[in-house]
Amino acid sequence: MIDLVDLTNKLVEISSPTTKEEKVCDFIASWIREELPGVPFSRTRNSLLVCPPQQGDRPVIGLFGHIDTVPASPTQPLGVKDGKLYGCGSSDMKSGVAVMMGLLKDYTRFNADLVAVFYDGEEGPDEGNALRIMMDTLPHMDFAIVLEPTNNAIMAGCMGGMHAIVSVEGKRAHSARPWQGQNAIYRSLPILAKLRDLPRKEVTISGLKFYEVMSATMASTQNAANVIPDNFEINVNIRYAPNHTDAEMLAELNNLVGDLAAVRVRDVAVPGEVCVGHPLMQAWIDKCSLKVEPKQAWTDLARLTSHGIPAVNFGPGDPDRCHQALEWTEVANLEKCHKLLSVFLTDICQPNKD
Positions annotated as catalytic residues are 68, 122
CA dist 148 and 76 (Å) reads 20
Distances (CA, A) of 16 to 25, 104, 154: 9, 22, 27
Contact between residue 7 and residue 14 where contact means Cβ atoms under 8 Å apart: no
Residues sharing a CB contact under 8 Å with residue 299, sequence separation 6 or more, in sequence order: 146, 148, 158, 272, 313
| DSSP H or E run through 276 | none
Non-local CB neighbours of 253 within 8 Å, separated by 6+ positions = 164, 166, 214, 236, 238, 263
Whole-number Cα distances in Å, 36 to 63, 146, 238, 281, 284: 16, 22, 44, 28, 28
Name the residue among 120, 104, 89 with its Cα closest to residue 23: 120
Residue in 222, 205, 202 with CA at minimum distance from that of residue 213: 202
How far apart CA 124 and CA 28 sit, in angstroms, is 21
Instruction: Determine contact, residues 336/329, Cβ cutoff 8 Å.
Output: no
| Cβ-proximal residues to 121 (8 Å cutoff; 6+ apart), any chain | 18, 19, 21, 45, 66, 68, 128, 129, 130, 131
